[in-house]
Amino acid sequence: MKHEHNNISPLDNRYADKITDTRACFSEHELVKQRFNIELEWLIYLCDNYPNFFKKLSQSSRNKIYKFKDQFADKDVLKIKKIEATTNHDVKAIEYFIKDFFKKDKVLSRYIHLIHFGLTSEDVNSLAYSIMIKNGLSIHINKLSDLLKILKTCSVKWKNIAFLSRTHGQAASPSTLGKELKVYSKRIEREINLLKSIKPLAKFSGATGNYHTFVIANDKIDWPKVNKKFVNSFGIEKNLFTTQIEPHDWVAELTQTITRLNNICTDFSQDMWIYIANDIFALCIINNEIGSSTMPHKVNPIDFENAEGNFGIANSLNDFFTNKLTKSRLQRDLSDSTVLRNIGLTFGYSQIALSSLIKGLNKVIPNRDKISEELNNNWEVLTEAVQTIMRYEGIDDAYEQLKSLSRGKKLNKESYIKFIKNLDISSDAKNKLIKLTPSKYIGLANKL
């Protein structure tokens, strides 16, 4: 694919090949195409389902319309854009484009009056964006599922690798690498399920959402029911109560959920960066890659850094979408229109970040030697176990004794065992504690 290098967004040049499907899903071409499809499908829907009120289409005419619809291409977008330059109205330009096609056919020309019948442009826009977001969300969930699959695989693979935890940056009760990854996989899995539960909504009820044009034309038709069935045919739910615009609350729910997912992934990216910095994970060396233009030895955690940056951009956009799109003056103002055109950016930046995170995760391996060394250098983490056993055996000042022994001090195996042997506790408890090592003190981490 050829990309223009003077585009302002890296999504359209540097990162273009990584989000081909998402770029296509939210492109101007796709927006115009969805509007075009909706206009034609609405005309066919009326004529097919209500022939007593709208002239029935012959099979030949239907075939001509569907051929026109199926052959929609870039050249048609350019024609519509040329019309828009005159009309200064994007949806009206599509109506005129269809009208020009119908004029060329003796039979179809009798149906020109039904193009855009009863609709306001926001009916078409609302449904078009809902379809695009629905399709984009499907792509995004697939990408998230790829990450989830890798996290689950690594979690199982590394479930028995004990390592030193850090709370407040200080040595703390050991865990396993697998269990810590499990925490992230479960957090992500929960948010994916929430994403899947969000139902895209659209309005299809005229200028201010009251079906004025439909009812004035024919009050014998149950228009809310008719229009609902049409919207549902696209896999979209109809919002019955709207002004001129669908209120976008569902879009806010969507962007807020994506923000939470991005925050979880940022948390994970930062943890991985710190683990790599502390040699808990080693980065696989790729011969032709360069870590620094001046320091030949460097192997950098660039994928996790790239992920963090792009998740941050996406979340900044999400915050604005959430705060802006749910507000519109009175029955509507146009500020939501220009904002909604950018909705694809949050999917684009989030997916660039996810790709980087997946790439980074595939390039790390546990540094078992360093992990073992760090555990062996921190026997003081066992003081939690010791004071718990002492409490269990009825020693009131257990915590204070261990605090005096270990706070701000380093213990080794010898000093630890010496302390245990001098404790006034049962033989069974002593034996249990003497056999304990930092690498064995993992609770149920490997089972979790």
Active site residues: 168, 292
Query: What is the spatial distance between Cα 126 and Cα 231, in angstroms, rounded to a whole number?
Result: 10
What sign for the dihedral angle of Cα 402, 405, 408, 414?
negative
**Bridge partners, residue 208, by sequence:** none
